[in-house]
Amino acid sequence: MSVEENTLAVAVNIGSLIDSHPGIHGGTPLIAGTGVTVRRIAIWHNAGHSIEEIAHEIGHLNLAQVYAALTHY
């Protein structure tokens, strides 16, 4: 069985991946459960970093979180 055949697709509400709190970064949108701002992800992506590179560099993020941040932005 190939990796593609063994992969399970899971639907995720991307709205649940983005959050904000008035006391953290002035209420700017964050990746939920982290201190990473959506703006930080957008800056890195606009600077030429791929989604995979961003997820790798910010090791506690997964691809879905990075995609959600870019979609929100």
pLDDT at site 1: 46
Which pLDDT band, with edges at 50, 70 and 90, does 5 fall under?
Answer: low
Cα–Cα dist 6/17, whole Å: 25
pLDDT at site 72: 87
Which pTM does this prediction carry? 0.77
**Phi, psi dihedral angles at 8 (to 5 degrees):** -100, 125
Residue 52: pLDDT over 50: yes
Residue 27: pLDDT over 60: yes
Cα–Cα dist 26/16, whole Å: 19
Which pLDDT band, with edges at 50, 70 and 90, does 23 fall under?
Answer: confident
Q: CB burial class (10 A; 0-12, 13-18, 19+) of residue 30?
A: buried
